Amino acid sequence: MLPVAGPAPRRGHHHQRRRRAARRTPGRARRHLHTLAEASLLDTDRHDRYRLHDLLRAYAAHRLQLAEHPAGEHDEVIIRILDFYLQTAHNADRQRAPHRYAVAELDATTPVVAQTFATDRDAAHWLLTERHNLAAVTRLAAEHGHHHHAWRLPGTLRKVLERHHLHDESLALHTIALASARAIGDSSGQASTLKDLGTVHLNLHQPTEAVQCLSEALTIARNTHHQLAEGACLHNLGRAHLALDDIERARDYYRQALALRREINDQDGVGYTLHRLGMSYGHVQDYDVAVTHFRQALQVREKIQHYQGQADTLAGLATLHLHQGNFNRTIEYAQRALPIHDRTLDHRTAIDTLLVLARAFYNLHHYDDTISAATRAADLCWEINDPAGRAQSFDLLSCARNALGELELSNRLRQQASAIRAAFAIQGDLNTDNVSGL
């Protein structure tokens, strides 16, 4: 039951006081929050993030319904919240990937002080930590008709959700974003959101749905002469057709994307497409051609200092050399990629890199190193809830323990891997005969 509410506050100086309170400086607001936390009216964590207790939140919402507000005051507060989160999320996204195709900025309509970030790790951490609040303000924006905010917010968050395997969250947010972009007839917003929705469907292994979204986005981009979006759509249509095993059509889209991106000097896009072209050749075991494209992609990404892209391509080169049996080169590229993964908090690709590294060590009979790499992979799998990766990690640990003569431990690890696969209906197995494969 809610506490009994007193009478609604009277209009007049109370409203002025509320309006002044809404414009506190960050430092002064922080001091007030600290005072409330000391009085046990707020919870705080080690990151200085504050939360209302559930009962107090319900009480505050109840009082807000009873209180009288001057016309527009409530909406002004909402816009300030939206402006803060959108500007800060944009700053974080730009810090993480300054050369990447970005969601169009929206000028703030209220005097907010957005956060900035010194490193890409700080930016990634903020986006990941605040993702629930970003999802909440996206819904808030859509519900209150602030569609310009609502379609932009998910685009700043997509990459972090992708890297941490949170594809269902991303799908829900981008569905809201598309409805908002359509509600206001924003062609740029529709093209951008459909492009991102296509990518989310690819991550969910839904290539047919991806093709539908990307084809519509491509049509809008071409009709509005939005060449950056057009290049991104062509690139992702290549990804979709590769997932459908239509290799030649996939390469045709990649080549169209590469030509356009070179024409408009989209170097970040050039790096992405060269990388994906390399993957298309690796898909059919044409490893030499694949390596050539990956090296070209790495050269571009190093030139523009796209760290996350460099790590992806280094990991791709490690994988290709593993397939070719060049285990020392595999280790070289994987060990170059891992510190960058740590810097960008890219746990998803770090897991893949660690598993490739563990396989290379195993094939060179470096069993202690195999155990170290596979254990790190298993720990990261727990963090991002990746049961398939965890099963592969346990298989590799089982193989290494078996090679060291630790048969009982090896059997337990293999049983754990089998149990995970059975629980999550995961196909595949790993044994000493195919440990160098993927």
Domain locations in the chain? 25-59
User: Can you give the pTM of this predicted structure?
Assistant: 0.81
Which tokens is 219 given? 């049509």
d(CA 231, CA 157): 21
In whole angstroms, what separates CA 305 from the centre of its chain?
19
pLDDT of 374-433, one tens digit each? 999 999 999 888 999 999 999 999 999 999 999 999 999 999 999 999 999 887 665 444
Q: How far apart are CA 249 and CA 432, in angstroms?
A: 36
Report the C-alpha gap between 197 and 174 in whole angstroms.
6
SS (H, E, C) 12-45: CHHHHHHHHHCCCCHHHHHHHHHHHHHCCCEEEC
Q: What does the pLDDT look like over 209-263, one tens digit per residue?
A: 999 999 999 999 999 999 999 999 999 999 999 999 999 999 999 999 999 999 9
Burial label for 232, CB within 10 Å (0-12, 13-18, 19+), is buried
Q: What are all long-range contacts of 65-69, with beta carbons under 8 Å and residues at least 24 apart? A: 66/5, 66/8, 67/8, 67/9, 68/8, 68/9, 68/10, 68/11, 69/15
Run of H or E including 326: none
What per-residue confidence (pLDDT) applies to 75? 82
- SS3 of residue 205 by DSSP: coil
pLDDT string in tens for the chain (438-residue length) = 333 333 334 444 444 444 454 555 667 777 877 787 777 777 776 566 777 777 777 777 677 666 665 656 678 889 999 999 999 999 999 888 777 767 778 877 778 889 999 988 899 889 988 999 999 999 999 999 999 999 999 999 998 888 778 899 999 999 999 999 999 999 999 999 999 999 999 999 999 999 999 999 999 999 999 999 999 999 999 999 999 999 999 999 999 999 999 999 999 999 999 999 999 999 999 999 999 999 999 999 999 999 989 999 999 999 999 999 999 999 999 999 999 998 888 888 999 999 999 999 999 999 999 999 999 999 999 988 899 999 999 999 999 999 999 999 999 999 999 999 999 988 766 544 444 333
Q: What pLDDT is stored for residue 434 in this prediction?
A: 40
At 249 the pLDDT is 97
Q: Beta-carbon neighbour count of residue 62 at 10 Å?
A: 13
User: DSSP character for 379?
Assistant: H
User: What sign results for the dihedral spanned by CA atoms 210, 213, 219, 220?
Assistant: negative
